[in-house]
Copies of this chain bind each other. A is one copy, B any other.
Amino acid sequence: MALAYDSGEPMDGSSGLPPPRVAYDRTPIHRGSVFAVERVTFRDDAGRVIVRDVVRHPGAVTVIPVLDDGRLVMIRNWRVAIGAWLDEFCAGKLEPGEDPALAAARELEEETGFTAAHIRPVGVFFTSPGFADERMYVFEATGLTPVPQRLEVGEQIEVVTRSVADLQRMITRGELVDGKTLGAFTLWKHGASGAGATP
């Protein structure tokens, strides 16, 4: 259990604050097929010892597929973690070292049954930085052509298409409750271009 000093470089470039110099120790306490859990021990500026459990996740991609008529391809996805169907953009976790753009193209084909002529980075965000390091890479897919859908074992998915106006009405009504889809749609609607896509 050696102590080290975290260099802690800011990832988003938006803050002029210096990173705290925190002594920390990291102990693995769980490793599963999708994520691991690490117990992090550190001292705050006042020298107090803090212990936090952190989920280590390989990161994920989500794709906003835009049909030639402007409608968006979405999925209804059975989510085991919450026991509910959610309306979402298609998504999937990264394999270690995988190029997010290639993962985006793969998940688009597998889950929606469309292949894209163009995959463009839109941006990236942290899904739940209070306890997890998962990064969500967002892409836009255009030039869509149907291909066979290829669901993975355990996936239960229905493909639907929606206009942007429909999606906005769903947001107003509280019918869109997937955080990744809300975050991705916001970046896309604000014309984000993936400038910050590699934090």
Contact surface of A with B, Cβ cutoff 8 Å: 6, 8-15, 17, 19-20, 22, 29-30, 32-35, 37, 39-40, 42, 44-45, 48, 50-55, 57, 60, 76, 78-87, 91, 93, 123-134, 136, 153-154, 156, 158, 168, 170-180, 182-183, 185-187, 190-197, 199
Contacts and interface: CB of A to CB of B under 8 A. Distances in A.
A86 B20 CA distance: 13
B44 A154 contact: yes
27 contacts: A9-B83, A11-B84, A12-B84, A12-B85, A12-B86, A12-B175, A15-B76, A20-B156, A35-B53, A44-B153, A48-B154, A50-B80, A52-B80, A55-B81, A60-B130, A81-B133, A82-B126, A123-B174, A125-B182, A136-B179, A172-B190, A172-B191, A172-B192, A174-B194, A182-B182, A182-B186, A182-B187
Contacts of A126: 79, 82, 86, 177-179
A190 B169 CA distance: 8
Contacts of A54: 80-81
Given A30-B37, A81-B133, A153-B44, A14 B53 contact: no
Contact of A76 (B17, B93, B178, B186): B17
